[in-house]
């Protein structure tokens, strides 16, 4: 599988893909291209590994610029790994079934536009949830609404803070992202 990974942040999910390729947990898989929509640590992780890496501007042409970059590679799967920009409906339609996203909650709970990062964990705590988790799902033009591929959950303990939930989610995401890529590469859609 030829992967494209889109990033905006720390790149822990990008790193877990790199590690899984190194450890052969992901086989016959390579990251062909990493694209960031802002200067971020994920870019350093990518450049360090000599992966073809690009930084695109956050403007109205973002989706078409990404599309052009992807079209020069033979991409099987696009992974939004902490990518914060919203891709155009045209882009999502064109790559339908080939784009996945990782979201830090048990969708459909706590998803949608504006629900990212700490906001998700704060909402989980405010709602008094007793469990939370992460979801890998297909990307459609409607934010966080595509078919679910894999979910992983964990208990929310009394006294847990946003930081505690971030740690637990990170751990869960690393596991389910690799599981989802393996599932897709073996032909299981969801």
Binding site for ligand GRF (CB under 6 A): 7, 9-13, 42, 81-82, 102-104, 169, 173
> By beta-carbon distance, which residue lies closest to ligand GRF?
82
Q: How far is the CB of 152 from ligand GRF (least distance, A)?
A: 11
* 171, containing H or E segment: helix 162-185
Q: How far is the CB of 170 from ligand GRF (least distance, A)?
A: 6
Q: How far is CA 10 from CA 15, 46, 126, 134, 176, in A?
A: 9, 11, 26, 17, 18
Q: How far is CA 2 from CA 38, 62, 78, 179, in A?
A: 23, 22, 9, 16
Catalytic residue check, 103 = yes
Q: How far is the CB of 13 from ligand GRF (least distance, A)?
A: 3
Q: Which is nearer to ligand GRF, 63 or 111 (CB)?
A: 111
Q: Which is nearer to ligand GRF, 103 or 137 (CB)?
A: 103
Q: At what angle do helices 12-22 and 41-48 cross, to 10 degrees?
A: 20
CA atoms of 171 and 4, how far apart (whole Å): 22
Which is catalytic among the residues 103, 121, 137, 171? 103
Q: Which is nearer to ligand GRF, 12 or 132 (CB)?
A: 12
User: Known catalytic residues?
Assistant: 103
């Amino acid at each position: 599988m030829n992967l494209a990974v889109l990033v905006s942040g720390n790149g822990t999910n990008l790193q877990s893909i790199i590690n899984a390729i190194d450890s052969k947990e992901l086989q016959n898989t390579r990251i062909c291209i990493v694209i960031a929509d802002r200067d971020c640590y994920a870019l350093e992780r990518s450049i360090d590994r000599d992966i073809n890496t690009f930084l695109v501007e956050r403007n109205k042409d973002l989706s078409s610029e990404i599309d052009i970059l992807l079209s020069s590679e033979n991409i099987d799967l696009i992974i939004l790994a902490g990518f914060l920009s919203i891709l155009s409906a045209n882009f999502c339609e064109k790559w339908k079934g080939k784009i996945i996203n990782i979201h830090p909650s048990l969708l459909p709970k706590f998803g949608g536009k504006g629900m990212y990062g700490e906001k998700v964990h704060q909402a989980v705590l405010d709602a008094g949830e007793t469990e939370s988790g992460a979801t890998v799902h297909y990307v459609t033009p409607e934010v966080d609404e595509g078919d679910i591929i894999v979910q992983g959950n964990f208990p929310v303990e009394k006294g847990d803070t946003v930081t505690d939930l971030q740690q637990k989610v990170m751990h869960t995401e690393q596991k389910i992202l690799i599981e989802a890529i393996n599932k897709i590469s073996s032909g299981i859609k969801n």
